[in-house]
Structure 1
Amino acid sequence: MNLALTVLNISAPVFILAAVGFAWVKLGFEYRVEFVTRICMTLAVPCLIFVALMKTQIDPEALAALTLASLVAYTLVAIVFLVIIKLFKLDIQTFLAPLVFGNTGNLGLPLAMFAFGEIGLGYAVVVFAVMAILSFTIGIWLVSGGGSLTKVIQEPLVAATLLGGLFLWHGWETPVFMTNALELIGQMAIPMMLITLGVAVARLETKAMNLAIVLSIAKAVVCAAAGWWAAVWFGLEPVAAAVLILQISTPVAVTSYMLAVKYGAEAQPVAGLVVASTVLSVVTLPLILAFVI
């Protein structure tokens, strides 16, 4: 009973905020996703990442191990789904990137913070940063046929990650007034991302959901297993292992749908994956939390 209540206390705020965004759109109110997404990804999230890394008390060696474990976990997930896509003769350009890269920002960061506090957020930021770099290189290459290292470096969240890592490595800190300002800006990120997630899901049009449901179940199982295996292989301490499994297991990100639209992949199947995996995560993420807590 206590475990169930703990999991509910951690996961409920995440889904309640997403439900607020969903209901907001269904009630007919205006919500400019492009503006909110831009202010999140260019200002709020980079500030959140930088401050989280700068203030974290995690040992640099532990962060290095988590980074390597994240890379291995994503590689395992990519290999498994490449085989599945080939077996079922699906389109690699459409399906592979969404099935590999999850919603580590909108869902993973708040869940890690609610479950494990500031140290959990610090670990989650590392996995999120690994995912973002892979997504902006390999992910875009898969969807569009061409990635760019320049684009990666220019992304504010990547720059914030590198700068935060530098401050963490050297033990530097910004002046108190600057830290407080950056922290305040970063605090906007999580509620805005969760509400935007609900808005985006409410606006998606989906067809042929059967395939999306099957692939979403497969994604939940494969990702959780890959995260667990990588955590064991690298001997991660319990909180780092839990955060890795949680982050790798997050559902398909709404940004996957946006990238599919932008680069000419089949958008409707990706939209179906977003909706199916997000709805499924209402069950799977609490189960994973119950397992790792």
Structure 2
Amino acid sequence: MNLVLTVGEVVAPVFILAAIGFVWVKMGFEYELEFVTRMSMTLGVPCLIFTSLMRTEIDPTALTAVFMAAAVAYAGVTITMLALALLLRLDIRTYLAPLIFGNTGNLGLPLALFAFGDEGLGYAVVIFAVMAVYSFTAGVWIVSGGGSLTRVLREPMVAGTLLGALFLWQGWETPVFLTNTLALIGQLAIPLMLITLGVAVARLAPQSFVRPTLLSVVKAGACIGIAVVVGRTFDLPPVAFAVLVIQVATPVAVTSYLLAAKYGADSDAVASLVVVSTLASVIYLPLVLGWTI
């Protein structure tokens, strides 16, 4: 019973905030999705990443191990999902990126913070950064046929990650007034991302349920299995191991839908994957948390 209550206390704020966004749209209220997303990804998330890394008390060696484990895990997920897409004769441009990239920002960061505190968030932002860089390079290339390294370097999230890593490595700290300002801006990120997730799900119209349900189940199972194997192989400490599994196991990212719509892939099919996998995560993520806590 204590474990159930603990898991409930962790996941309830995440899904309640997402539900607020969902209900907000269904009630007919306006929500400027593009503006809020841009503000979150340009200001909130970079500041959150920078301050989390700068102020973390995690051993840099452990963060390096998590970075390497995340890279290996996503490589394993990529190979597995590419094999699945070829086996089922799925359109690569439409399905491969959504099957690889999870919602490590909107869902992964809040879950790691609520479940494991600042230590969990420190690990989570490293994994999120790995996924973000991979998404802006290989992810864009898969969907459009042309990724861009210069685009990655222009992303504020990447700048926040590199600066945060530099300050952590050198033991530097910004002046207190600036740290407090950046931390306050960073606090925007998690609630905004969760409410935006609910808004996005409310606006997406699933095309069908059979194929996305099957793919969502396979994605969740494969990602959890790969993350567990990689985490054990790298002998990650308990919190780092749990965060790796949760981050890699997150459902299809809303950004996959945005990329599909932008570059002419089947955005309706991706919308179905986003909605179904997100709903499925309401069931399986609490189970994963209960196993790892």
User: What is the TM-score with the length of structure 2 in the denominator?
Assistant: 0.99
Partner of 1:110: 110
SS of match in other structure, 2:244: helix
1:209 CA displacement = 1.6
| Mapping 1:278-293, distance limit 5 Å | 278-293=278-293
Query: SS state of the match for residue 197, structure 1?
Result: helix
Letter in 2 for 1:4: V
**Structure 2 SS opposite 1:207:** coil
Which secondary structure state, in structure 2, belongs to the residue aligned with residue 13 of structure 1? helix
**2:12 matched to 1:12?**
yes
Shift of 1:201: 0.4
Q: In structure 2, how many angstroms separate the alpha carbons of the residues matched to 1:264 and 1:67? A: 32
Corresponding residue for residue 39 of structure 1:
39
Shift of 1:287: 0.3
**How far apart, in 2, do the equivalents of 1:254 and 1:76 lie?**
22
* 1:166 alignment partner in structure 2: 166
CA distance in 2, matches of 1:246, 1:209: 24
Residue 73 of structure 2 aligns with an amino acid whose one-letter code is A
Deviations 1:220-274 (CA, angstroms, capped at 9, x unpaired)? 1001111111101111010000000000000001110000000111101100000
Distance in 2 (CA, whole Å) between partners of 1:252 and 1:90 is 16
Runs of 5+ unmatched residues, structure 2 = none
Query: Aligned AA for 2:138?
Result: I
Counterpart-to-counterpart distance in 1, 2:243 and 2:34: 29
Give 1:58 shift: 1.0
Secondary structure of 1:252's counterpart equals coil
Q: 1:122 deviation in Å?
A: 0.3
> Aligned letter for 2:250?
T
Structure 1 residue aligned with 2:48: 48
Distance 1:29 1:46 in 2: 28
| Secondary structure class of the residue paired with 1:169 | helix
Q: How many residues align?
A: 293
Q: Which residue identity lines up with residue 78 of structure 2 in the other structure?
A: A
User: Which residue in the other structure is 2:187 paired with?
Assistant: 187
Shift of 1:60: 1.1
Which residue of structure 2 lines up, in the alignment, with residue 119 of structure 1? 119
| Residue 237 of structure 2 corresponds to residue 234 of structure 1 | no
Compute the displacement of 1:61 (Å): 1.0
Q: Identity of aligned pairs, percent?
A: 64
Deviation at 1:133, TM superposition (A): 0.4
- Unaligned regions of 5+ residues in structure 1, if any? none
Please identify runs of 4+ aligned residues in structure 1 that moved more than 6 A: none
Question: Within 2, Cα distance between the matches of 1:101 and 1:266?
Answer: 17
Q: Displacement, 1:117?
A: 0.2
Amino acid at match of 1:140: V
1:39 partner amino acid: M
Q: How does 1:51-200 map to 2 (within 5 A)?
A: 51-200=51-200
Corresponding position of 1:248: 248
The Cα shift of 1:44 comes to 0.6
After superposition, the CA RMSD in angstroms is 0.5
CA-CA distance at 1:16 after TM superposition: 0.3
Deviations 1:89-144 (A, max 9, x none): 10111111111110000000000000000000000000000000000000000010
Q: Which residue of 2 aligns with 1:207?
A: 207
